[in-house]
Structure 1
Amino acid sequence: MSDTETAAPLARVVGDVLPYLRRHARALTGSQEEGDRYAAATLEEILRDRTVLAKDGRTPKVGLFTAFHRIWDGGQGDVAPPPGADRGARAQALRHLSRLTPRSREALLLHTVEEFTLDECARIMDVSRDTVADLVDTARTEMHEAVRGRVLVIEDESIIAMDIEALVRDMGHEVTGVAATRDEAVRLGRDDPPDLILADIQLADDSSGIDAVNDLLEGFPDTPVIFITAFPERLLTGDRPEPAFLIAKPFMPPQVISAVSQAMFFASTETLRA
């Protein structure tokens, strides 16, 4: 079989799961640019050794995330950091993250946001299942207690909005308001600027949560944003710009809790601004 013939199946296999790897990489780094650097390095590694995708009977998604975590665990030096990465609010956030138990945050994201089983997480991280379980529990404790902030919820479905509000309050954060439309979101956000925005895409009056977020980010561009949407494909396109934090509906509470904990660490997270 020619290289062209083998490349096509590989592209299809990787293409199906690559958006989720990019989401994971952005959540770990808090940056689309830096996350995509790690994703690109992962693809280069797979081209060198394609057996990693199906080694030991693992699924392509587990194989892709395994290759990523080999690079990630190798340290920041394996992927060139962007200019200025050692300065400013983002550097401060990364220093804060460095004080967490090593690898706990990775385990939490893999298990709760990406929905890998503990056994799959163990394969990806090359540790035991019990170790993964301990890391997830440790991350929940350390991250949930480390930062408290003010959250604006943009969601037009009242039951979902109440669920999100309850989750956020149970974590110890303050909810500054709940908006169902773009105009309401902009008004609430400008009157009482939040530390974090949780936003749906499609709102009650057919207005856009994306537009609402972009309006708000004109006033406070470093505010992290989590999009919770039934239409993740609208944002997981591979084009710039993309959000660093994205959860698909229907969601599980641990996904929201983990994403909120992650986002609160990144005061300068890239969202929908290039």
Structure 2
Amino acid sequence: MASMAAEIAQSLPYLRRYARAITGDQRRGDIQVQRCLERLLTDRGNSGGLPLRTLLFRTLTRSWNDQPEAEAMFAAPIANDAILDHRVREIAPARRQALVLSVLEGFSTDEIGLILEISQAEAEQLLVLAKNDLRDQRPTRIMIIEDEPIIALDLAGICERHGHQVVGFAATRAEAVAKAREERPGLILADIQLADDSSGIDAITDILEHMTVPVIFITAFPQRLLTGQRPEPTFLITKPFDADTLAVSISQALATAAA
């Protein structure tokens, strides 16, 4: 039990990140993590031989999909390709879950199948359709809060390659608030530590007093911001980031904000 507890503790920050990403909200996500752990304790003898990390993510996903507020429910796995294609097209939230599990959390397609309780073929189909969704998603106007010019330009290049418009940069809390009021962006990318030693979280708190906008935070230390003990980011990616991780995070933030 001690080793199991240690393994759960190691996975918790990333379980919180996944829960917040699929629910679109810190509070809802952290509640799902708590429900997941309670459910795991109740059913601890019924793991089906799954590795603990896979079991944690499957239990959380099942718990969320069982909630009335969840956007999708999974039916029993099916084999017919034509029916499969129709079914997969009807459950866009499952595509997003698959994409987050793949790109942000690093699960393979067979692991994603186990987590979502579908076949590997269905998981592969979900990922194909989810990537199509990325290309088809309506572009938005993005503001970048980042005090490192090279990183800011890298972020801007990725955003623009995916069709989004970068409407401004800010390196300090005051600049960020002023730029957001001026540009009214559709999404904000924010570093945690800014040039004037202020916090990107503080800047976003100020901005959200005047507008509602989805935010993705970028940090080299995600574990410090995924404790569930205080108001924390809903969407979080880790430095160094890659283009796919950023694109998926933007897509998920926009999708959950529009839900």
What is the TM-score of this pair, normalised by structure 2? 0.84
1:23 aligns with 2:14: no
Change (3 A) 1:158 1:130: farther
| Percent identity between the two aligned chains | 45
1:163 CA drift (Å): 1.6
1:211 aligns with 2:202: yes
The answer for unaligned runs of 5 or more in structure 1 is 1-5, 80-97, 270-274
Q: Determine which of 61, 65, 71 is the counterpart of 2:63.
A: 71
Contact 1:42 1:71 in 2 (8 A): yes
1:164 aligns with 2:155: yes
Q: Following the alignment from structure 1 to structure 2, what is the Cα–Cα distance between the partners of residues 181 and 228?
A: 15
Contact 1:235 1:243 in 2 (8 A): yes
Q: Following the alignment from structure 1 to structure 2, what is the Cα–Cα distance between the partners of residues 169 and 191?
A: 20
Q: Following the alignment from structure 1 to structure 2, what is the Cα–Cα distance between the partners of residues 126 and 99?
A: 17
Residue identity in the other structure for 2:230: R
Cα RMSD over matched residues?
2.4
1:155 CA drift (Å): 1.2
Aligned residues: 241
The answer for unaligned runs of 5 or more in structure 2 is 71-88
Residue matched to 1:84: none
Residue matched to 1:130: 121
1:36 aligns with 2:30: yes
Q: Determine which of 228, 238, 242 is the counterpart of 1:238.
A: 228
Q: Determine which of 187, 196, 217 is the counterpart of 2:187.
A: 196
Residue identity in the other structure for 1:11: A
Residue identity in the other structure for 1:44: E
Q: Following the alignment from structure 2 to structure 1, what is the Cα–Cα distance between the partners of residues 250 and 116?
A: 23
Residue matched to 2:74: none
Contact 1:151 1:175 in 2 (8 A): yes
Q: Following the alignment from structure 1 to structure 2, what is the Cα–Cα distance between the partners of residues 122 and 104?
A: 12
Deviates more, 1:142-151 or 1:165-174: 142-151
Q: Determine which of 49, 59, 84 is the counterpart of 2:51.
A: 59
1:183 aligns with 2:174: yes
What is the TM-score of this pair, normalised by structure 1? 0.79
Q: Following the alignment from structure 2 to structure 1, what is the Cα–Cα distance between the partners of residues 93 and 173?
A: 40
Change (3 A) 1:100 1:128: closer
